Amino acid sequence: MLKFKTVNIIFFLLGILVLVGMTKAMLPIYAILILVGVWMLVTFIGATNIKMNYFFKSWHAEENNFNQIALTFDDGPNPNSLQILEILKKHQVKATFFCIGHRVDKHPDIAKKIIEEGHTIGNHTYSHAQNMGFFSSKTMLREIESCNNAITAATGKTPFFYRPPFGISNPKIKKAIQITEMQPIGWSVRSFDALLTSKDLIYKNIIRQVKSGDVILLHDDRVLTQEVLERLLIFLKEKNYNLVTIDQLFKSHAYS
């Protein structure tokens, strides 16, 4: 099966051929419009779905025979993170937290506690801006480096893992990642806890698709996540899943 990006390149080249053909044979203009439209749609899907590995390769799942699953939490640290940590501690589970830099600056004690309790911290940019997909390479580089600096100041650790906000990818983000030599991390199971308002829907959305090697995306700044987490941990343990950190799942170092 052709890769997603390969298909898009084929459509792009076909578009050029049709454009050239139009100048010679006066082909219908709708032909080029359809091809350009398909190319734009595929590019949009690739840019907004990190699992596609369209602009750069991310780690989002790892096939293994050990029933390992990685729980990840985005958008902290904040006071709600403390409740998440208590639940994880109660069930003796380790997780990975992708932290926003300005929130680390505001709650350095919570970031430090995450490390002290044996969890892993990753980079989730400094501002987590809504328009991050339009940032220049220089601005993206500053976002990543500023977040790393905040985490290092609070914990003494400099993250190796980077998760782009909203799962967005593009050539400018790719350049910033290459310069900082960080490893992009995606996910294979999205809980939609940042969008859904029903605890049951969030819970069912996870358990209906989870399997060995998955990376589950949650948010530690959401009260609903806290309310779903304990139920989820009980389910995963009943199914004999081993809950690990991202570095354990992918057998990698977590910090530079």
Cα 236 to chain centroid distance, Å, stands at 21
Amino acid letter for position 208 = R
Q: Which of 107, 119, 219, 221 is catalytic?
A: 219
Is 219 a known active-site residue? yes
Q: How many CB atoms neighbour CB 253 within 10 A?
A: 10
Q: Does the annotation mark 200 as catalytic?
A: no
- Candidate list 60, 74, 75, 107, residue with the active-site label: 74
Residues whose CB is less than 8 angstroms from the CB of residue 172 and which lie 6 or more positions away in sequence, other chains included: 135, 136, 137, 140
Q: For the chain, what is the radius of gyration of the CA atoms?
A: 20
Tell me the two tokens of residue 253.
């170092």
The DSSP code for 254 is S
Pairing mode, if any, of strands 242-244 and 215-219?
unpaired
Catalytic residues: 74, 219
